[in-house]
Homo-oligomer: A and B are copies of this chain.
Amino acid sequence: MRISELGRRSGVANATIKYYLREGLLPPGRATAATQAEYDESHVRRLRLIRALVGVRGLSVASAKQVLDAMTEHRGDTHEVLGIAFGIRPPGEGAPDTSGEETNPEASALVDAMGWSVSAANPARRTIDETLRALRSLDIEYDWQALLPYAELAERTARHDLDRIETITDPLEKAEQAVLLTFLLEPALMALRRLAQENESTARHGGGDT
């Protein structure tokens, strides 16, 4: 198909498709003339993936490219793909950052208490320590121990996440779904918390006017 049909099928504007081609996010089509190329179903699928990562989840084009490259390169290795997608293992060059344990002591205490096996470079460690610092700057007493009940619920959430992709046999599809379900479910999981909070607040304090 031509670029115009590719745009129609994927819901991505032609100018944006050309930008993704220039950035190497989308592989080139098969050249049929000096200024024409032919695209196939793999391009439609790839564009939908890009749209999900960049449009829905707000990744930068550079981050989306790393995730997509990792999915292609390590297609059989879901663990490796997830590692790159989460920013744990930088793709390619350089030794992994291992300063996470010293610079984020509260995350480390939490990980130890949970008995989790988590690399020092996982950037989620920093988020934990930053959140706790922000709460304390507002005089809210909150430390890593207060997060333990949430950590136990997160452990069950992660089990559901991985159960979901366990049954997929095609390795590329498995890696794709692992990344998409991790990124795209985040807003829905926060929305579920808000719905559950309203329900719980109504049960405890609410009148009949909600």
Q: Give A contacts to B, CB under 8 Å.
A: 11, 45, 48-49, 52, 56, 77-79, 82-83, 86, 88, 107, 111, 114, 116-119, 122, 124-125, 127-128, 130-132, 134-135, 137-140, 142, 146-147, 149-151, 153-162, 164, 166, 177, 180-182, 184-207, 210
Contacts and interface: CB of A to CB of B under 8 A. Distances in A.
How many identical subunits does the complex contain? 2
7 tightest A-B CB contacts, nearest first:
A158-B196, A124-B191, A127-B191, A154-B192, A131-B188, A116-B199, A79-B205
B156 A117 contact: no
Which of A82, A147, A189, A202 has the most chain B CB atoms closer than 10 A to its own CB? Answer: A189
Give chain A's interface secondary structure class: helix
B134 A56 contact: yes
B149 A160 contact: yes
A198 B189 CA distance: 18
A150 to B, nearest CB: 6
Contacts of A135: 180-181, 184
B131 A185 contact: yes
A198 B83 contact: yes
Contacts of A128: 188, 191-192, 195
